[in-house]
Amino acid sequence: MKQDANITFWGAARTVTGSRHLLEIGNRRILLDCGMFQGRRAESTAKNKELPFDPSELDAVILSHAHIDHSGNLPTLIRHGFKGPIYTTKATADLLKVMLSDSAHIQERDAYWLNKRLKRGAQPVEPLYNMEDVERTLELLAPQRYRDDFEVVPGLTCRLLDAGHILGSAIVSLELEVGEDEPRRVVFSGDLGRDHLPILRDPERVPTTDVLIMESTYGDRFHEDIRGVEERLGAIVKRTVERGGKVIIPSFSVGRSQELVYELHELMVAGELPDIPIYIDSPMTVKVSHIFSEHQECFDEETWEIIKSGEDPFGFDRMHYIKDVEESKALNSSDAPCVIISASGMAEAGRILHHLKNNIEDPRNTVLIVGFQAAHTLGRRLEEKRSPIRILGSEYEVRAEVTSLHAYSAHADKMDLLDFVTGMKPLPSRVFLVHGEERQSLLLAESLRGKGLADVHVPEYGERLPLFGSAPEEG
């Protein structure tokens, strides 16, 4: 008996945040990712809090990786009645214990401060979720090993492949029984990584699929070559130190921070960096780095060689990992040259805001951008060289040097994405492009059509389409 199979794009549609895609196969409902939308406060609050479907009707969630724009709204799902399993990799499950707890803390802290500023009679602000919601979420995690087949619901089998994006990141490969014909395959790329990145294995290749749901974050551009970026990082640090300044790096706690520590560690071992302190000022980064050490099954051969030689690839003996708030504040009262790596990666929350506030007006300093900066974030405004900028309610002139190293991006670029698709034999019958700003997604769609893929669609938020069949013409 034939079953209808549809998909609705409830996030990361013509934008890069809030990944959330609802599969309906007959009477079964499976959610791919449940990410937090990040951007303007009012829009973010509405999209994160007001779920457009009934969570209690979901049979399962399959999570591609732990980044908050893919996982951060899971506790809201649980708060509104979801009780099914959350399938993901073992490393992602461990990371979620840290990341969701940190997210709940941020929700509660932000609500506290906003309520202190409320005008009399205004409705109090409530956090999206709290620690109790997080605990209930963690109880539903169903960790899986890479490349093992498991049944999600009857008639739907899943296999998680290594996406090479961050620790534990996965390409979700689904095999569906939708009728009397052969099973159909649907692949969700999650966020794809790149070849030759430090620490992690390169992304796995998918032989073929009927339908591909693929990210398009860098669908219109090419990255700098990762090979040689270590020298460029060293040059930025050296010139900042020579003028007596600090290097301030907003960095994601998962993935980017560990890569930077790895590269700085290697530069120090080689004697190519001056003897200055390097501070990792993020309690979550410290915890995440320990989780990295516990999941060596995700490492590439180069990292294994370092481990075998007796070195610590995360440089615990050379880096200063800061946990205490007072120690963090002391960094801003010192004029000594140093490197400060702190979350968040888009400079939207956390201790990085205090480091920027205290250092952005000093021309001796450097702000180094090392990752994608979504629209309307402080990180994007810095990268676009805007001045003045608003930090924690006050305006500051940007006098520090602001520079970028996009070679560190953990996202596949245009060539990587094209190679990922065209390497499939035969080519997918349908491609949906998600997790990209509209321009990037539409340009990548054009490029894919030029490679012989006739059915490529960039969905709108809330658009519901058949999984198998013909996509509508692009508007």
CA-CA distances (angstroms) from residue 56 to 31, 71, 91, 96, 204?
A: 12, 18, 27, 22, 34
- Secondary structure of residue 246 in the 3-state scheme: strand
Domain end point (choices 358, 391, 408): 408
Mean of per-residue pLDDT scores for the chain: 89
CA-CA distances (angstroms) from residue 407 to 11, 204, 225, 263, 451?
A: 27, 20, 6, 13, 26
Q: What is the rounded CA–CA span in Å between residue 266 and residue 306?
A: 10
Q: What is the rounded CA–CA span in Å between residue 171 and residue 157?
A: 14
Residues 98 and 115 in one domain: yes
Q: CB-based contacts of 266: which residues, under 8 Å, 6+ apart?
A: 230
Residues 337 and 437 in one domain: no
Domain end point (choices 371, 389, 408): 408
CATH number of the domain within which 46 lies: 3.60.15.10
Question: Rounded to two decimals, what is the model's pTM?
Answer: 0.85
pLDDT at 240 over 80: yes
Q: What is the rounded CA–CA span in Å between residue 128 and residue 76?
A: 7
Strands 430-434 and 320-322, sheet pairing: unpaired
**Residue indicated by tokens 């900042």:** 240
b/e per residue, 265-294, with b = 16+ CB within 10 A?
bbbbeeeebeebebbbbbbbbbbbbebbee
Structure tokens at 342: 């702190």
pLDDT at 1 over 60: no
What does the pLDDT read at residue 474? 62
> Is 427 a domain residue?
yes
Helical residues (DSSP H) of 119-186, grouped into ranges: 131-139
| Structural domain range at position 276 | 229-408
Residue of higher predicted confidence among 463 and 370: 463
Q: What is the rounded CA–CA span in Å between residue 315 and residue 172?
A: 33
- The Cβ of residue 411 has, within 10 Å, a number of other Cβ atoms equal to 23
Q: What is the rounded CA–CA span in Å between residue 52 and residue 455?
A: 27
> Is 471 a domain residue?
no
pLDDT at 470 over 90: no
pLDDT at 315 over 70: no
> Is 169 a domain residue?
yes
Residues 162 and 255 in one domain: no
Residues 143 and 292 in one domain: no
Q: What is the rounded CA–CA span in Å between residue 270 and residue 282?
A: 26
pLDDT at 171 over 70: yes
Domain end point (choices 408, 425, 454): 408
Please check whether residue 377 is in contact with residue 346, taking contact to mean a CB–CB distance below 8 angstroms. yes
Weakest-pLDDT range from 138-142, 194-198, 219-223, 316-320: 316-320
Q: CB-based contacts of 154: which residues, under 8 Å, 6+ apart?
A: none
Structure tokens at 89: 């990799």
Overall domain count for the chain: 2
> Is 474 a domain residue?
no
CA-CA distances (angstroms) from residue 326 to 110, 330, 348?
A: 20, 6, 21
Could you give the angle at which helices 438-450 and 414-422 cross, rounded to 10 degrees?
A: 40
Residues 15 and 147 in one domain: yes
Residues 105 and 190 in one domain: yes
Q: CB-based contacts of 425: which residues, under 8 Å, 6+ apart?
A: 207, 208
> Is 112 a domain residue?
yes
What does the pLDDT read at residue 266? 79
Q: What is the rounded CA–CA span in Å between residue 308 and residue 401?
A: 39
The model's pLDDT over 100-156, given as tens digits with 9 standing for 90+, comes to 998 898 788 778 877 887 777 778 888 899 999 999 999 999 999 999 999 999 999
- Secondary structure of residue 250 in the 3-state scheme: strand
For residue 279, the 8-state DSSP code is E
Weakest-pLDDT range from 86-95, 192-201, 334-343, 464-473: 464-473
> Is 414 a domain residue?
yes
> Is 472 a domain residue?
no
Residues 368 and 427 in one domain: no
> Is 98 a domain residue?
yes
Residues 331 and 461 in one domain: no
pLDDT at 316 over 60: no
Residues 237 and 324 in one domain: yes
CATH number of the domain within which 367 lies: 3.40.50.10890
What does the pLDDT read at residue 112? 81
Q: What is the rounded CA–CA span in Å between residue 13 and residue 441?
A: 9
Could you give the angle at which helices 229-242 and 256-269 cross, rounded to 10 degrees?
A: 80
Residues 72 and 28 in one domain: yes
Band (pLDDT 50/70/90 cuts) for residue 197 is confident
Could you give the angle at which helices 325-333 and 352-359 cross, rounded to 10 degrees?
A: 10
Band (pLDDT 50/70/90 cuts) for residue 360 is very high
Residues 276 and 398 in one domain: yes
b/e per residue, 245-264, with b = 16+ CB within 10 A?
bbbbbbbbbbbbbbbbbbbb
Residues 332 and 461 in one domain: no
